[in-house]
Chains A and B, each alone.
Chain A
């Protein structure tokens, strides 16, 4: 079902542009033109975010913070084995995917921990990454409140995920 979605969407758009007499070639090219300036404007933000994640991981700080936060997390029902995933997810999509597959192979893909990890991974986003990319070209720099709100909401839903996997 979902594999038809994109081709059909593209087809509708192209057919519509013929009906509406919008020059499809000109319009498409004009849109595509913005890709390179966009990548250039976003690149410095990506560099900073990736350096942050690299340092966080390489220094062992992420492990230290996970160990430190484990008691708080387990109080909320988040298993100690998943602390690192919860911490890395807001920073890095590829990093958290690596942790997720590590959890799968270590504990078995159908275990409680793995199911929990799947739900946590699938129901949260890379908050800092989104903030960096979406606001790369924006004038607004008032991001603290929205970022905090997103982190709090995601964290509560992580605890909820661990709870719901226990009963379902």
Chain B
């Protein structure tokens, strides 16, 4: 991350120095502004979902849900502490269903739980890759945008999207299984 950040930022700044020196500070400030507006939105979304999750945890509903998905969990993550399993299952299901507000808070909780235990680096890597390769089944935002622009059949792209989504996740899972050591 440090290398990418340093490289992209310095090259961009060198270019801007020649074409638009004022643009450098503007870009930094605009970035900060966008981050703040997103963070404000996050406070609201997280307050709601973290409240609901705490109830899920306290009522032990999340454990029941994790048991339902445990064969899949065992295949993907190996030995994982019970407490993290619930959040992993919820995160992946919410992701698949396109509940975009719910996925981030659950993902963060899952990683925090995993980090409390030793030898979970493999599970954390697997969990991140599954999230970052997208498991969303119905691309809700794309469908809405297509419909609003008067597409003859907005849902045309659903099956190709599902196939591509699955492919990227499967490749991701295989790569993690081959390149990251299970501890």
Chain B interfacial positions (CB closer than 8 Å to A): 1, 4-5, 8-9, 11-13, 15-16, 19-20, 23-24, 26-28, 30-32, 34-36, 38-40, 42-44, 46-48, 50-56, 58-61, 97-99, 104-105, 107-108, 111-112, 115, 121, 124-125, 128-129, 131-134, 136, 138-142, 145-146, 149-153, 156-157, 159-161, 163-165, 167-169, 171-172, 175-176, 179-180
The answer to whether A147 and B1 touch across the interface, beta carbons within 8 angstroms, is yes
The answer to whether B12 and A110 touch across the interface, beta carbons within 8 angstroms, is no
What 1/0 flags go to A6-45 for Cβ under 8 Å of B? 1001101110110010101001111111111011001100
What 1/0 flags go to A126-160 for Cβ under 8 Å of B? 01101101111111101111110110111011101
Q: Which of B19, B56, B138, B180 has the most CB of A within 10 A?
A: B56
A30-B16 contact in complex given A115-B157, A137-B108, A145-B180, C-beta closer than 8 Å: no
Measured between beta carbons, the chain B residues less than 8 angstroms from A68 are: none
Q: Is the interface of B mostly helix, strand, loop or mixed?
A: helix
The answer to whether A51 and B59 touch across the interface, beta carbons within 8 angstroms, is no
Task: Give the size category of A's interface with B.
Answer: 35 or more
A53 within 8 A of B: yes
A72 within 8 A of B: no
| Interface set, chain A 68-82, CB cutoff 8 A to B | none
Q: Is the interface of A mostly helix, strand, loop or mixed?
A: helix
Q: List 8 A-B contacts (CB under 8 A).
A: A5-B97, A34-B50, A52-B31, A55-B13, A119-B161, A146-B128, A153-B169, A157-B171
